[in-house]
């Protein structure tokens, strides 16, 4: 399966992530230039950067992906829907939303489902696609399975593992982060409907991991190590 992938095909599976809170406008512009250079699927940006991304990526074939309710998913549904409409008007062609994690952990699945449906309806009506971020570091398998069922029911485009910022406080008071794992990706691919694609985000920093996750059925990757992975693919391709 992985042997059929060319460097260009790998690039078109990557959403180049420009989401760190410390990124300046100059850093974001550099990241957008890199996205254009490597012809990735999208540059994934914060809402205020969408218009800039649309301008810098115009005519390149690189899409603009915007995050909403990011990174903790705690905005009201109405605000998330409004934010979705705003980023699409500004030029986003893909939207990555964070679920209300507390509602999922508390078992309020009606709320979670209604919110995903409202945002997906808004996204699809505007001609864009939605990726639903679970934040798997915070969840048990039962939560992930239920979220896969909800995403399948509402026919969202992608189910996504993580934001990249879901740090879990340990018993020693320090924070750790795992991100995308083989276990969670297998579970998500198994439990989501075939038409719901899987996006791995968080910790995908080298080509071998990307290729391994692709072999599990993952078709999109959130990454910051984009240049390293694509250059490695080019070297291997000769």
Q: Identify the active-site residue in 96, 131, 137, 209.
A: 96
Catalytic-residue membership of 160: yes
Contact 193, 168 (CB under 8 A): no
The pLDDT of 62-85, averaged and rounded, is 97
Q: What is the pTM of this model?
A: 0.95
Q: Catalytic annotation on 96? A: yes
Residue 238 has what pLDDT?
83
User: Please, are residues 144 and 187 in contact by the beta-carbon 8 Å criterion?
Assistant: yes
Report the alpha-carbon distance of residue 224 to residue 17 in Å, rounded: 5
131 included as an active-site residue: no
What's the pLDDT band for 4 if we cut at 50, 70, 90? Answer: confident
| 8-state DSSP, 138 | G
> Could you tell me which of 145, 198, 202 has the C-alpha nearest to residue 176?
202
Q: What is the CATH topology of the domain spanning 2-237? A: TIM Barrel (3.20.20)
Residue 195 has pLDDT above 50, yes or no: yes
Assign 3-class secondary structure to 180-235. CCHHHHHHHHHHCCCCCEEEEECCCCCHHHHHHHHHCCCCEEEECCHHHHHHHHHH
């Amino acid at each position: 399966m992985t042997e059929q992938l060319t460097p260009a095909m790998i690039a078109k599976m990557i959403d180049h992530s420009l989401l760190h809170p410390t990124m300046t406008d100059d850093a974001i512009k550099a990241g957008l230039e890199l996205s254009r250079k490597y012809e990735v699927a999208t540059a994934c940006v914060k809402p205020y950067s969408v218009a800039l991304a649309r301008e810098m990526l115009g005519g390149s074939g690189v899409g603009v992906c915007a995050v909403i309710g990011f990174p903790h998913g705690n905005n009201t549904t109405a605000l998330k829907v409004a934010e979705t409409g705003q980023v699409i008007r500004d030029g986003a062609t893909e939207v990555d939303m964070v679920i209300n994690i507390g509602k999922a952990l508390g078992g309020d699945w009606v709320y979670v489902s209604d919110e995903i449906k409202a945002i997906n309806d808004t996204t699809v009506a505007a001609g864009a696609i939605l990726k639903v971020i679970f934040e798997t570091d915070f969840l048990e398998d039962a939560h992930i399975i239920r979220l896969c069922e909800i995403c399948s029911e509402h026919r969202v485009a992608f189910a996504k593992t993580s934001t990249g910022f879901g740090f879990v406080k340990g018993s020693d008071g320090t924070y750790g982060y795992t991100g995308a794992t083989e276990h969670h990706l297998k579970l998500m691919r198994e439990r989501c409907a075939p038409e719901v694609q899987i996006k791995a985000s968080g910790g995908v920093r080298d080509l071998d991991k990307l290729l391994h996750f692709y072999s599990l059925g993952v078709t999109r990757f959130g990454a910051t190590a984009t240049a390293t992975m694509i250059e490695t693919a080019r070297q291997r391709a000769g």
